[in-house]
Structure 1
């Protein structure tokens, strides 16, 4: 018996038999867990795709979210996520889905799509160790920025200087057809009666396009661009303002109050007229008061919002002008005075004040064309001609300045500026 117990021959086979089960089990676990990880990656990819599909641009969930007046759950989006997720594994037998939970929520102007899942993967060799299943779980989260709400306030310079011909050809035609070689189409209205012999009506008879005509057409066309760009009917509101209807009462004229009815805004913008004067030289031509216009438009705009909700829209001032101020400003004019008359490039301190309050300012500078045959221009404007575009650019928010000569497309320039604004990512933090 002692010899039997102390005999070591044949131990390898016995030990091998004893160790074979855990070795195979361990190898099986490695293979099965590797397989489970691979399957989880496949499921995770499907979950990511489903969460993304639920808030895709053209999805029913996004449409429902846009139609919601406030925050809340988007049931259609959640259902779509589950349906999309399941559809990717209709014939897949590598695993079993145990739980699926999807949720789409609109909060603070963003959509959050979340999909959680749990699944079980059957094992093979691991069953030797009594492990028949491996559980896998994961989560997919997608954040989608919904529309940014913005109120646009178009401040359009319609003062007498905007009655100049829109192109060099138009300027030459006016000069050639006026006894005093005048390039300006002065709009004379006295005591409410239109002077049919004024240069404004002469320009119409000659087929001359003035700068204010082009600006009005461009403002109207911009409404179509805004309508095509918005994701919901109340995403953008447009208000249109000019420097006044007549020189006798130069105060901000509200052509149309801020409205989401962009067809209405288009119709009214197209009818903008040049400010009228009762006679040439009235009030020493002091009708282009940028300081007053900026101060008054601020009262109309109200507090700047975050843009995340319709009740807290961003406020954007869209300013279109040739950049030359002409007003009674005896105390703080930046150029030489004629009595109290101040002719100067725009005073940017008023722009800076608006920007400090959170407003964004987009500036479309319609190049002030030199008028070498005009004595007034040569004496008063030519000395600071080069400063005009510099001041206008300084007035604008970063990246929102555009200069266009009257012979180019003002409408296209306004559209370009608008798209730069609406395509700029919203800073929320």
Structure 2
């Protein structure tokens, strides 16, 4: 008997079948759990995608929440954004997820120039196999958030150089046409009142010559359209336009349009921008371009800059368009040699510094000063510092806000590019 018991205990035949039978139930259970969990993860992924879409869409640039945030006088929640987020979340649902009872929390708030959305979801996904073990559902949850940095509120003060040098032909072809039709081969359409209809200004008009001042005027008007299409709210940008004066004998900063949100009005008023008149050729020894005076006066006009977070606290931007060559009476502080006190020089950047010191941004559009190699005046007085003009104009500008446009480039496109640099389109992070 002892031998029989020993042989029975040592026998291994049939173990695999017995073990398989013993393990079959937990193996099937594990497979079922895996299937149920995989299904729950699939649903959770769909809910996450919906939450991401809702969070981003609720604070998109053209969303109702962002539009409302731009008009709010202070910080706080934005109910219209929360409603929009819920609708966006529901719109992403499909299949089984449509019938699931989803607990959804959506908040959209403004804090200064940040609009933030937060989406939290929670749902119970029914199980199939796990219900055998008494587990009837799997809970899934998650959060998604997005942030929109609203474009700042800004006041633009557009200073246009309209002095006689801006009467030069806008392109090499315009310059050549003027030179071919004037007895002294002059490329400038001087607005000489004494000459009447025989002035070079009127000659340019009759020849169909486009002057630099014409292209700048048109570009400024197009800029108002760019600002309208770029702004998120009607009170985001104000614009004002200024020139160096309408006539040389009373040259002083002239307001074409005071800063206003009515950009159509600015466009209309800018029709008045034209070349400064002179009473006669050689008036005041041609000392009609004082950047020093214009920048000093602008510094008194532009009020204290703000953070740009609200329309009541806008950033201030001087948008300066010029060819970069000053010509004024400065017998003692001219940076170049003078003749009888007449100072012809690149812009003196010491007059840009006070504005920047106050926190005012200076965006400079340098309309390249055209070399006139056949002109003796140019060769004597301007050519020696021609290479320094662009350098000084760039030095006047705030970091990153300098742009040079040559005669063959489009001034309107250049002004638009510079404007968008200043505005710094807002970005979305999620």
Name the TM tier (shorter chain).
0.7 to 0.9
Structure 1 counterpart of 2:325: 324
Over the aligned positions, Cα root-mean-square deviation in angstroms equals 3.4
Structure 1 counterpart of 2:110: 106
- Give the alignment's TM-score, normalised by structure 1: 0.84
Structure 1 counterpart of 2:6: none
> How far apart in 2 are the matches of 1:183 and 1:79?
63
Alignment of 1:394-409 (within 5 A): 394-409=395-410
SS at match of 1:363: strand
Structure 2 counterpart of 1:229: 230
- Give the alignment's TM-score, normalised by structure 2: 0.84
Alignment of 1:12-411 (within 5 A): 35-66=39-70, 68=72, 70-89=74-93, 91-92=95-96, 96-97=100-101, 99-124=103-128, 126=130, 130-189=134-193, 195-411=196-412
Q: Report deviation, 1:234.
A: 1.9
45 and 213 in structure 1: CA distance in 2 versus 1, 3 angstrom threshold: closer
Deviations 1:313-349 (A, max 9, x none): 2222221111111112233221112232211111123
> How far apart in 2 are the matches of 1:87 and 1:184?
63
> How far apart in 2 are the matches of 1:201 and 1:93?
75
> How far apart in 1 are the matches of 2:212 and 2:404?
14
> How far apart in 1 are the matches of 2:336 and 2:32?
89
- 1:119–1:136 contact (8 Å) kept in structure 2: yes
- 2:62–2:232 contact (8 Å) kept in structure 1: no
> How far apart in 1 are the matches of 2:137 and 2:319?
64
> How far apart in 1 are the matches of 2:122 and 2:177?
78
> How far apart in 2 are the matches of 1:188 and 1:209?
17
SS at match of 2:117: strand
- 1:95–1:122 contact (8 Å) kept in structure 2: no
Deviations 1:110-141 (A, max 9, x none): 32222222222334555566544443332221
> How far apart in 1 are the matches of 2:90 and 2:209?
66
- 1:22–1:129 contact (8 Å) kept in structure 2: no
- 2:43–2:97 contact (8 Å) kept in structure 1: no
> How far apart in 2 are the matches of 1:254 and 1:15?
97
Q: Report deviation, 1:288.
A: 1.0
> How far apart in 2 are the matches of 1:206 and 1:33?
81
129 and 362 in structure 1: CA distance in 2 versus 1, 3 angstrom threshold: same
26 and 370 in structure 1: CA distance in 2 versus 1, 3 angstrom threshold: closer
Q: Report deviation, 1:267.
A: 1.5
> How far apart in 2 are the matches of 1:374 and 1:271?
31
**Structure 1 regions of 5+ residues with no counterpart?**
1-7
Structure 1 counterpart of 2:3: none
SS at match of 1:263: helix
- 2:70–2:310 contact (8 Å) kept in structure 1: no
> How far apart in 2 are the matches of 1:65 and 1:46?
24
Q: Report deviation, 1:155.
A: 1.0
288 and 116 in structure 1: CA distance in 2 versus 1, 3 angstrom threshold: same
Deviations 1:187-243 (A, max 9, x none): 2347xxx94443322332333322212211221122222222222222222111111
Q: Report deviation, 1:278.
A: 2.3
**Structure 2 regions of 5+ residues with no counterpart?**
1-8
- 2:151–2:424 contact (8 Å) kept in structure 1: no
Deviations 1:296-328 (A, max 9, x none): 112222222222322222222221111111112
Q: Report deviation, 1:168.
A: 3.0
SS at match of 1:386: helix
Count of paired positions: 417
